[in-house]
Amino acid sequence: MTIVAGRRIPDVNTPLRAYRPAPLAALVSTVPQNALVPHVHFSIAEVRNSFRVRYVRVASLPRRGADAQGTMWSDAGRRSRLPRVPPPRLRRFARQAAVELWRVSLRPGRVE
């Protein structure tokens, strides 16, 4: 995301954000109402609009269960030496999100 945004973004898809009313209105107007990855669009628009962004660490509770990071992938790949492949649902979502990002925020010639 650094290449697209022009700066490092610690967590491009985090929904935990705080904005003043005017910048929020500007960001909301750039993102489709039914966006799959609205916070990724926000991160790109923050840079394009030269918004000053401050990143703050937030303490959180660890996830429950065997996997501390969590995953949508099944455990089947862990028992095998074969590389794990994301399930079809996750691949479909990633493809749709990439197309949406290209059409909305990354398309060539985009003018803000």
Q: pTM score, two decimals?
A: 0.69
Residue 112 placed within a domain: no
Contact 72, 90 (CB under 8 A): yes
Domain carrying residue 11: 2-59+74-106
Which pLDDT does position 12 carry in this prediction? 79
Residue 68 placed within a domain: no
Residue 111 placed within a domain: no
Query: Whose CA is closest to 71, among 52, 84, 59, 57?
Result: 84
Per-residue tens of pLDDT for the chain, all 112 residues: 666 667 778 887 787 888 999 999 999 998 888 999 998 899 888 888 888 888 888 887 776 666 555 555 555 545 666 667 788 888 999 999 999 999 888 876 655 5
Find tokens 């269960």 and name the residue. 65
Residue 101 placed within a domain: yes
Residue 67 placed within a domain: no
Residue 86 placed within a domain: yes
Number of domains into which the chain is organized: 1
